Amino acid sequence: MVTSMYDCIRVDSMDTATIERCVTRAEQLQVDVCFLSTTYSHKTDLDTVHSQIQDIDTNITLKLGAIVKRDKAQPMTKAVKSAREHADMVMVAGGNLVVQSHACRMPEVDVIDTPYAGRKDSGMDHVLAQTATANNVAIGVHFNDVQYSYGKRRLFTLTHIRTLVALCQKYQTPYICYSLATSPWEMHSPRDMAALLNITGMSVQEALHAVIDYPEAITERSETVNLQDFVRPGIRRESS
Amino acid sequence: MKLNLLPPTMREKQRYIVIRIISDAPVPYTDFTKALQKLCTQLFGEVTTATMKLWVIKNLYDAENGKAVVKVQHGYVEMLRFCISMVRHIEKQPVVLAVEGVTGTVKSAQNKYGVPQQS
């Protein structure tokens, strides 16, 4: 069976040449599918990225990702529904517990990105983990968060990841690991990124799900969720 | 006087990790070794790094083509993989290190991943 390795990079305010360099680096690092994510404020953000990647000649599959960053639940819900129609992956920036708890209840959300961002705890508890599992919302672990932090901050980040790993194992919550690189020098091989989850308490097989199986499920699901008659996972509106 | 070779049952199993070094300029062997050992010690501590028996094989190090083979004790491969991916700079030069493969013998590392024997 052929398995595809996934990664996600951040292309906010990147010019076409830099995106091209990132894509070439992704090819070198054995990435098969690459999500090019941008902070979502309006549909035009995704259109800009889409126009930039159209002329790139590459062997890997490029997909669009939207990062929704809002302080309150209501604007987040609105932005997610809007982004869902245009993006292949919708990520909600973590850190705010109210926003996160709403995001866990939305089947339109694919990933909650770094729930521990700017917090003194992991940002997820057993209730949120169970809700996320029910709605197939994955927890995103950001490799460069560990790489680009030092001392106390790195220790806390690893501790939070360890807590998230334990929750994901107990409640079968999906999880993914990505670099969210902003330059070609920040990119990593997906197999090496899975080693982060391995050292924080997962087996090698479980860690590999984070870069192979769960991102693949997200791409498959995004095709279903973007359909007009979609209501919830497993429920479709009957056409009259 | 030379020490005798240990019996096979007492020898520890090793793994050889083939690493690809992506950088603008060639990275010297000493700088690469120092960077890897420093980061390993920083992340896992002196005791674990000593148990890992980390060793960068000098005659298989190819600075021009950016390839290195690192010997590590069996069971510590994932730890080393994590260490390798955490390297950002070597002597202020930005680098990306990626694991190409893991083998059980030097010979298979040379055959599978085309690591040339350096003089």
- What integer pLDDT is reported at residue A185 of this predicted model? 93
Task: Name the minimum distance, in Å, from the CA of B44 to any CA of chain A.
Answer: 10
The tokens of B104 are what?
């059980």
**Mean pLDDT, residues A195-221 taken together:** 91
The tokens of A47 are what?
């259109």
Residue at B4 is within a domain:
no
Residue A192 CA to residue A5 CA, distance in Å, equals 11
Query: Is residue A54 within 8 Å of residue A17, measured between CB atoms?
Result: no
Residue B39 CA to residue B51 CA, distance in Å, equals 15
Residue of A nearest to B82 (CA): A195
CA A85-A177-B112 angle, to 5 degrees, is 120
Quick one: which of A80, A98, A122, A48 has its CA closest to A225? A80
Looking at chain A, the whole-number percentage of residues with pLDDT higher than 70 is 97
DSSP 3-state of B26: coil
- What integer pLDDT is reported at residue A233 of this predicted model? 67
Determine contact: B54 vs chain A, CB below 8 A.
no
Residue at B7 is within a domain:
no
Question: Can you tell me which residue has the tokens 């599959």?
Answer: A61
Residue B26 CA to residue A112 CA, distance in Å, equals 39
Query: Is residue A118 within 8 Å of residue A95, measured between CB atoms?
Result: yes
Interface test with B, best of A189, A200, A203 (most B CBs within 10 A): A189
B84:A147 CB<8 A = no
* Number of domain units in chain B: 1
Q: Given B78, B82, B94, which is nearest A185 (Cβ)? A: B94
**Does the pLDDT value for residue A222 go beyond 90?**
no
Residue at B23 is within a domain:
yes
Average pLDDT, chain A: 90
> Mind listing the domains of chain A with CATH numbers?
6-225 (3.20.20.140)
Average pLDDT, chain B: 92
**Mean pLDDT, residues B38-66 taken together:** 93
Q: Dihedrals φ, ψ of A7, to 5°?
A: -145, 165
How many beta-carbon pairs under 8 angstroms link A with B? 48
- What integer pLDDT is reported at residue B27 of this predicted model? 94
Task: Name the minimum distance, in Å, from the CA of A189 to any CA of chain B.
Answer: 6
Amino acid making up residue B117: Q
B96:A143 CB<8 A = no
Residue at B8 is within a domain:
no
Interface test with B, best of A199, A200, A204, A211 (most B CBs within 10 A): A199
Residue A176 CA to residue A195 CA, distance in Å, equals 12
Q: What single string gives the DSSP state of each residue in chain A?
A: -----EEEEE-TT--HHHHHHHHHHHHHTT-SEEEEEEE-SSHHHHHHHHHHHTT---SSEEEEEEEE--SSHHHHHHHHHHHHTT-SEEEEE-S-HHHHHHHHT-TT--EEE-TTTT-SS-S--HHHHHHHHHTTPEEEEEHHHHHT--HHHHHHHHHHHHHHHHHHHHHT--EEEE--BSSGGG---HHHHHHHHHHTT--HHHHHHTTTHHHHHHHHHHHHHTSTTEEETTEEPPP-
Q: Dihedrals φ, ψ of A30, to 5°?
A: 60, 40
Query: Is residue A8 within 8 Å of residue A216, measured between CB atoms?
Result: no
Residue A233 CA to residue B16 CA, distance in Å, equals 45
Residue B68 CA to residue B71 CA, distance in Å, equals 10
Residue at B86 is within a domain:
yes
B112: left (phi over 0), alpha (psi -120 to 50) or beta: alpha
**Does the pLDDT value for residue B26 go beyond 90?**
yes
Q: Given A148, A187, A196, which is nearest B82 (Cβ)? A: A196
- Per-residue pLDDT band for A4 (boundaries 50, 70, 90) equals confident
- Per-residue pLDDT band for A175 (boundaries 50, 70, 90) equals very high
Task: Name the minimum distance, in Å, from the CA of B119 to any CA of chain A.
Answer: 28
Q: Given B22, B78, B88, which is nearest A204 (Cβ)? A: B78
Q: Other CB atoms closer than 10 Å to residue A106's CB: what's the count? A: 19
Determine contact: B99 vs chain A, CB below 8 A.
yes
**What range defines the domain where residue B26 resides?**
13-112
Q: Other CB atoms closer than 10 Å to residue A158's CB: what's the count? A: 16
**Mean pLDDT, residues A30-58 taken together:** 89
> Contacts of residue A188 in chain B, CB cutoff 8 Å?
85, 96, 98
Task: Name the minimum distance, in Å, from the CA of B85 to any CA of chain A.
Answer: 6
**Mean pLDDT, residues B59-85 taken together:** 93
Residue at B75 is within a domain:
yes
> Contacts of residue A204 in chain B, CB cutoff 8 Å?
78
**Mean pLDDT, residues A28-43 taken together:** 90
**Does the pLDDT value for residue A132 go beyond 90?**
yes
Q: Given B78, B88, B98, which is nearest A189 (Cβ)? A: B98
Quick one: which of B2, B73, B1, B69 has its CA closest to B36? B69
B85:A198 CB<8 A = no
Determine contact: B101 vs chain A, CB below 8 A.
no
**Mean pLDDT, residues A22-44 taken together:** 91
Quick one: which of A230, A212, A218, A209 has its CA closest to A65? A218
Looking at chain A, the whole-number percentage of residues with pLDDT higher than 90 is 61
Return the bridge partners of B41, or none: none
